[in-house]
Amino acid sequence: MTIQKPTTLAQKPMIGLMSGTSLDGIDAVLCAPDQPGMPLLASAHLEIPSRLRQELLALNQAGPDELRRSALASQQLARCYAEVVRTLLEAGGLAAADVAAIGCHGQTVRHQPADGYTLQLVDAALLTELTGITTVTNFRSRDVAAGGQGAPLVPAFHAAAFQHAALGRAVVNIGGFANITLLRAGQPTRGHDCGPGNALMDGWILQQLRERFDRDGLWARSGTVLPALLEQLLAHPFFMRRPPRSTGREDFNLAWLTSHATVAQARPEDVQRTLLELTACAIALDVHTARPRVDEIYLCGGGAANRLLVERLRELLSPLPVLGTSTLGMDEQWVEAIAFAWLAAQCLQGLPGNLPEVTGARGPRVLGAIYPA
C-alpha cells in the first residue's frame, strides 16, 4: 500500500505504538489524524523477543539491580518500537519526514496510582533518535499527578470514534486487563477498569501447558466452571471498589490465584474455565450496573478473538447485542494503538487527553512528554 504524500503538517499521518500488559507484542498503526476516527493507513505487529518479554515480566516485581535492568530493557524496547516503525513506513511508502509524530504508550511495569506513580518503560529519546520522528510518550503520569488513576485513557478516543447519536454504547477493551467506556450522547463519557482480561488466563496456561495463550478458549472449553473458586475470585476487593478505578498485575496475578487452596486440587482446565468466567462476569456486571444505560456492546483488544469468552459475554448480556468494533469500521486489534496516536495528536495540539470523570483527576490535562525530532 502506498499512501499519497501529505502536503501540510495537519494532514501528516500519526503513528501509534501500543504494547499492553499481555506482553504479546507491539501493535503499530499509521493513521490519518485529520478525519474523525483516525482511519487506518497501515498496521503491523511485532512480537517482543522472548528474553525481553521475560525480563519485562520480571520487572513487574521487586528484584535486584532494577534501575540498571529497567534502563537496559527500555533501550531494547525502543529498538523494537523503531523496528516496527520502519516496517510501517515501508508498508506506507513513507519517509520519517512524512509522519507528524509517534504516540508510544511504553511498557507498563508498575501501576500504583494510590502511591502517586505509574511506570511505562521506553527510552523515548532513543526511539526519537532511531526514527527521526517526534515521539510523545509517558501519557499516564500527568493524570496521576493531578490525582487521577492515569487509566483508562482510551475513553476519550472511544467517545470521538464510536459515540452514537441516540444509542447507549459500551466499548469493552479486553487486553491483559479489561476496561469499559460508556457512551451516550448528551451525557458525560464514563469508563473504568473492569478487572482481569486475558492476563490470568495467559499466565495459567503458560504455567500449566507452556502455551502463550488459550487460542479461541479451546482449553477452557474442555473444563467446567468451579463455582466455589469463582465466588472466591469475585470476592477480590477490587470488585467492591467504585469507579474511578484501575487495576493491573499488582492486584491480579498467579500468586494471588494460587493462594486459593481450591486451585491446587482442581483440574487445571477447570481453573482455566473459571478464569475465563471471571473475566466474563466482571465485564457483564459492569455492563449491567452501567449508568448511562447500555443498548449495545462493542468489544476490542485480543480478548475479542477468544470465541468462548465472546460466547459467554453474549449469554450473560443477552438480549443486548455484543459485537466487535470492526462492525463500526475499526479492527478490534488496532483500536488501542490508534487511541495512542490520537492521544499524541491531542498532546501536540495542546488539547487534553484524559476525562476527569473517568480517571478521577482534578481536571482535564494535556497528557504526554514530547521528544522533538
Ligand X SMILES: Nc1ncnc2c1ncn2[C@@H]1O[C@H](COP(=O)(O)OP(=O)(O)O)[C@@H](O)[C@H]1O
Beta-sheet strand order (sheet of 369-371): 40-46, 26-31, 14-18, 101-104, 135-137, 369-371
Question: Smaller CB distance to ligand X: residue 46 or 370?
Answer: 46
Residue 331 neighbours by CB under 8 Å, 6+ apart: 40, 43, 325
Query: How many other CB atoms are there within 10 angstroms of residue 185's CB atom?
Result: 13
Distance in angstroms (rounded) separating the CA atoms of residues 262 and 271: 9
- Single out the segment in contact with ligand X by CB under 6 A; choices: 61-69, 130-138, 164-172, 207-215: 207-215
Q: What is the DSSP string of 267-336?
A: -HHHHHHHHHHHHHHHHHHHHHT-SSPPSEEEEESGGGG-HHHHHHHHHHHTTS-EEEGGGGTS-GGGHH
- Tell me whether residue 107 or residue 189 sits nearer to Mg ion (CB atom): 107
Of residues 100 and 358, the one with the C-beta less far from ligand X:
358
Place of cell 511508502: 93
From the list Mg ion, ligand X, none, partner contacted by residue 55 (C-beta under 5 to 8 A by kind): none
State the Cα–Cα distance between residues 92 and 83, nearest whole angstrom: 14
Of the candidate residues 16, 196, 203, 301, the single one contacting ligand X (CB under 6 A): 301
Of 16-24, 45-53, 223-231, 238-246, the segment contacting Mg ion by CB under 5 A is 16-24
* Binds 181: which of Mg ion, ligand X, none (CB < 5-8 Å by kind): none
Identify which of residues 134 and 253 has a Cβ nearer to Mg ion in the complex: 253
Site for Mg ion in 21-80 (CB under 5 A): 22, 24
Residue 336 sits in the site that holds Mg ion (CB under 5 A): no
Q: Which of 13, 16, 20, 353 binds Mg ion (CB under 5 A)?
A: 20
215 interacts with ligand X by CB under 6 A: yes
- In order of 15, 36, 80, the CA distances from 92 in angstroms are 11, 20, 19
Toward ligand X, which CB reaches closer, 198 or 354? 198
User: If binding is defined by CB under 6 A, does position 353 make contact with ligand X?
Assistant: no
Q: Is 302 in the site for ligand X (CB under 6 A)?
A: yes
Is the distance from CB of 157 to CB of 103 less than 8 angstroms? no
Residue nearest to Mg ion (CB): 20
C-alpha closest to that of 302 among 285, 282, 324: 324
> Residue 25 CB, nearest distance to Mg ion (Å)?
6
Give ∠ CA 230-235-241 in degrees, rounded to 5: 135
Three-class DSSP category at 187: coil
Interface residue with ligand X, options 13, 14, 22, 299 (CB under 6 A): 22
Separation of alpha carbons 211 and 206, rounded Å = 5
- Contacted by 304, from ligand X, Mg ion, none: CB < 5 to 8 Å by type: none
Q: Does 176 bind ligand X (CB under 6 A)?
A: yes
Segment contacting ligand X by CB under 6 A, of 92-100, 151-159, 220-228, 298-306: 298-306
Shortest distance in whole angstroms from residue 214 CB to ligand X: 6
Binding stretches for ligand X (CB under 6 A): 20-22, 24, 175-176, 198, 202, 213-217, 301-303, 305-306, 336
